[in-house]
Structure 1
Amino acid sequence: MVMVDGARTPVDDDELDAITLGRRIRERRLHQGMTLDQLAAAVERAPSQVSMIENGKREPRLTMLRTIAQALNTTVDDLMKADAPSERVALEIAVERAVRGPVFSSLGLPGIRASKALNDDVLKVLLGLHGEIERLHRERASTPEEARRANAELREEMRARDNYYPELERQASELLTAVGHSGGPVSQQAVSDIASRLGFTLHYVSDLPYATRSVTDKRNHRIYLPVQQPSSRDSRSPVLQALASQVLGHDEPRSYADFLRQRVETNYLTAAVLLPEKDAVRLLTEAKNLRRISMEDLRDAFAVSYETAAHRFTNLATTRLGIPVHFMKVHESGTIIKAYENDSVRFPSDATGAIEGTTVCRNWTARTVFEASDRFSPWYQYTDTPTGTYWCTSRIEKAKEGEYSVSVGVPFAHVKWFRGRETTHRAESRCPDESCCRRAPAELADAWAQHAWPAARTPTSLLAALPTGSFPGVDETDVYEFLQAHAPA
């Protein structure tokens, strides 16, 4: 930018900053053999004013720039080039920019002038240190908002593809074919055979690093798994998830969005192996013809968890069965943990478009299921919403964080294919209208609005930064020490 009649004006597509302009003026002056005083006299300005221009602390007006160019026997266009006149000057400019930037300023350190007294190596070290400090600041700035944005962007892609990824289906089929799987549930032995064909051995240990479900030693082609699995956890899944990352050629994630995408791909491929497309579609098609599609039947047929079966149904429902669908995993507090839709159901969302972390309507199946007295049977419900009537089936599962519901729903026009369509449970949701369930009833509000002051139990994750490192939430030192201790002699 240069100042034209007191206003900032873009020079061209490559924005020219005051530091680069000043350095080009200085280099041209030295090339001409002129002192600062001589140039100041030639342009009829004080040496201190010209010095400020050369140091990038003042932007000259276009008329002054023309005068300077004439005094230096060059053109305005030459002085306004965006590139540095030499590699050394480029280093000096980079250091100047870093020193004047917000990150360096926040350290409270005295400024550094990139003078001729500092050799190239010193300048490079300063830039390297500044780059590392900036990286650490970016990590600290990786708030849950970044995670929500990444989730929202990924969900848009999933919706556009109806949550069906043929390339992952193909890879799952190839893995099963290679070990001779002929249909039905995939056994633990078949999973071990897949690992063997991919060149990995499985090792069950009691000292797996905290916060890891498995650790893969890519050098020695070993996968370490815990000796004891929680009763609610499918012992095949951690093996397949570890193998999926290798099959898919995942590199260390460069961002949280990268990490999230890899996790989605890994979980998809794992589910596609445990519930093979051909077999799952055959079962679901037969159930559709008989008008009795059931998540419980899908779960039992392939010996997987209810959540895995529900997830897998969303992969196949639209592309293979022609049924639009939505899915929700909701904590007992009402907070949405995961969600997906391509049936126009209107999930609550925040300003970033993210759904995770928002609160679902009290009248939706995902919330009313917690009030059901029968926890062993699926809960079915119709819900009238501003975008139409939806039918859902939901079940409660437990985790260390508490109870949560897993729900699958479809528009009213498609409920005819499902078991449980005859339910008499029905509710109305007017959300996002606050009068639906966000606002307290008038009688209660009148009695208590001026007398209540609750202390919110704010989840630490709401304000904390995302875990740092290549693999968020995992202590790399623990992992490396574990691998070192278990590496073959």
Structure 2
Amino acid sequence: MTPRDDLKTSIELKTLGHRIRHYRLQQGFTLDELGAAVGVAGSQLSLIENGKREPKLSLLQAIAAATHTSVTDLISGEPPNRRAALELELERAQSSSVFRSLGIPPVKVTKTLPDETLESILGLHRELQRRESEAIATPEEARRANTELRLRMREHNNYLPDIEELAEKQLRAAGHSSGALTHRTVSIMAEQLGFSLIYVNDLPSSTRSITDLENGRIYLPPASIPGGHGLRSMALQAMAHRLLGHRPPTSYADFLQQRLEINYYAACCLVPQTNAVAFLQQAKKDRNLAVEDFRDAFGVTHEAAAMRMTNLMTVHLGMPLHFLRVGENGQVERVYENDGLPLPEDVTGAVEGQIVCRKFAARDAFDQQNRTTEHYQYTDTPVGTFWCSTQTGSRDTGAFSITVGVPFDDAKWWRGRETHNRGVSTCPDESCCRRAPAEQFARWKGKAWPSARVHTHMFSPLPRGTFPGVDDSEVFEFLDRHA
């Protein structure tokens, strides 16, 4: 029996004991008087009432008859009165791992302990539990959780078959068979789950959408990424929480897992597996695989198309690959690889936030004059040669690049394989791109004093709360306004 099972049994016995005591006192019996009526010593009855001994069914039947009640009433799981409820709640609280980890001795409950004191102690326990459930992850914990999730997905080739099947089932039910997923179809999918989509201008800044479970509404912003991909995706993500049976996350790792799953579901709906695999297989047959064609065929963003390729190409085309979203300063913002591409890592194994080699196309593309077209490049690395296609874009926080690449032997299936662009990366060797040439270093050593630009996010705490980063008070005020 597990500790949790032991606790459950203990609480059940204590609840039973409280109910027996309640009905005994209701009839005006002392312990000895009831004991005599049912044929046991008063001391034995006291052990039962204190939850320290489990009575036989025959004894329960005798107690029920003597107290003019039923066995069903005695074994009910509900505390018989307010005092019993307080004592049982305190029993649970003092048995929790959170309380035990403090090393504080539990409070012994006696008859003379006032209800007000119990209420006060329980108030402290409730706040302790609340703070524990909202505890923020340290940066290291968050990075480790993210790394573990990335590695776990790599083991599965970034493919979740159950969610793929669920998405196709929902699409069929909504009547979608081919082409870009329309807003109307997304609305039908929501209606089939009992939700209506409502577009508002006053969503709290800490949220992308809000689902009103009581009234069956999904609130979304009135506009998003050009083309509407963002709005469709946000609506699908909100629905996914219900379809996937998510509960409020209990840890940062749980939050990240749920976020991955809802993003995956939305991608499966926007780029359905059956049609997407058929498209990719034909493109491979034609030796004309290209992210931009895949993107345009399903009406999604370049990044969404690139990420969807990582879900499908290894499992269905037998092709390992890598995906990178890199900021203009060279920092990795999002990553996936199962083809062995050497990437920088910190001591926790995390890649996000690390600076990629200057020789990678993901950074070289920023220097190209024509950024609107895909930039192709072969890159020689210490573990082999990789071919990749990179597209750049911009946003409020600066430029970024999206890269999809494969090992050299698979380049033959892709458009752009004829490129003569070639880079040579010897990273993690410092002399590759992180250390200045010896002559340059000698010339300027001790003669320069740069003023570093400190990124304010370095000092920002990780978001806290059941749903990290969400301001609950703003959400509840919003729901009151629209209820």
**TM-score bin, normalised by smaller chain:** 0.7 to 0.9
On the 8 A contact 2:375/2:390 being kept in 1, the answer is: yes
**Which residues of structure 2 form unaligned runs of 5+?**
1-87
Letter in 2 for 1:162: N
Letter in 2 for 1:186: L
- Per the alignment, in what secondary structure is the counterpart of residue 423 of structure 1? coil
Is 1:354 the counterpart of 2:350 in the alignment? yes
- Provide closer, same or farther for how the CA distance between residues 120 and 428 of structure 1 changes in structure 2, counting only shifts above 3 A: farther
Letter in 2 for 1:438: R
- Provide closer, same or farther for how the CA distance between residues 293 and 99 of structure 1 changes in structure 2, counting only shifts above 3 A: closer
- Per the alignment, in what secondary structure is the counterpart of residue 348 of structure 2? coil
On the 8 A contact 1:380/1:421 being kept in 2, the answer is: yes
Is 1:217 the counterpart of 2:212 in the alignment? yes
Give 1:460 shift. 2.8
| CA–CA separation in structure 2 for the residues paired with 1:134 and 1:202 | 35
- Cα-Cα RMSD: 3.1
Letter in 2 for 1:258: D
| CA–CA separation in structure 1 for the residues paired with 2:133 and 2:460 | 14
| CA–CA separation in structure 2 for the residues paired with 1:291 and 1:411 | 15
Counterpart of 1:443 in structure 2 is: 439
| CA–CA separation in structure 2 for the residues paired with 1:179 and 1:297 | 26
Of the three residues 257, 264, 268, the one matched with 2:260 is 264
Is 1:405 the counterpart of 2:401 in the alignment? yes
Give 1:257 shift. 0.9
- The farther-off stretch of 122-131 and 244-253 is 122-131
**Which residues of structure 1 form unaligned runs of 5+?**
1-86, 105-110
Normalised to the residue count of structure 2, the TM-score between the two structures is: 0.75
Counterparts of 1:335-414 in structure 2, within 5 Å, are: 335-414=331-410
Counterpart of 2:187 in structure 1 is: 192
- Per the alignment, in what secondary structure is the counterpart of residue 363 of structure 2? helix
- Per the alignment, in what secondary structure is the counterpart of residue 393 of structure 1? strand
Letter in 1 for 2:212: D
- Per the alignment, in what secondary structure is the counterpart of residue 211 of structure 2? strand
| CA–CA separation in structure 1 for the residues paired with 2:122 and 2:401 | 51
Counterpart of 1:31 in structure 2 is: none
Of the three residues 130, 135, 155, the one matched with 2:150 is 155
Give 1:461 shift. 2.6
Counterparts of 1:447-466 in structure 2, within 5 Å, are: 447-466=443-462
On the 8 A contact 1:143/1:464 being kept in 2, the answer is: no
Counterpart of 2:83 in structure 1 is: none
Counterpart of 1:321 in structure 2 is: 317
On the 8 A contact 1:114/1:123 being kept in 2, the answer is: no
Give 1:407 shift. 0.6
Letter in 2 for 1:211: S
On the 8 A contact 1:142/1:465 being kept in 2, the answer is: no
| CA–CA separation in structure 2 for the residues paired with 1:125 and 1:190 | 53
| CA–CA separation in structure 2 for the residues paired with 1:191 and 1:343 | 35
Counterpart of 1:45 in structure 2 is: none
Q: C-alpha offsets along residues 89-134 of structure 1, whole Å, 9 cap, x if unaligned?
A: x99x999x979969x9xxxxxx999999994874784576367458
On the 8 A contact 2:321/2:339 being kept in 1, the answer is: yes
Of the three residues 224, 231, 234, the one matched with 1:229 is 224
Give 1:231 shift. 2.8
Is 1:303 the counterpart of 2:302 in the alignment? no
Q: Name segments (4+ residues, structure 1) moved above 6 Å.
A: 97-100, 111-118
Give 1:192 shift. 1.2
Give 1:190 shift. 1.1
| CA–CA separation in structure 1 for the residues paired with 2:167 and 2:106 | 57
Give 1:422 shift. 0.6
User: Sequence identity of aligned pairs in percent?
Assistant: 48
Give 1:462 shift. 2.6
On the 8 A contact 2:133/2:466 being kept in 1, the answer is: no
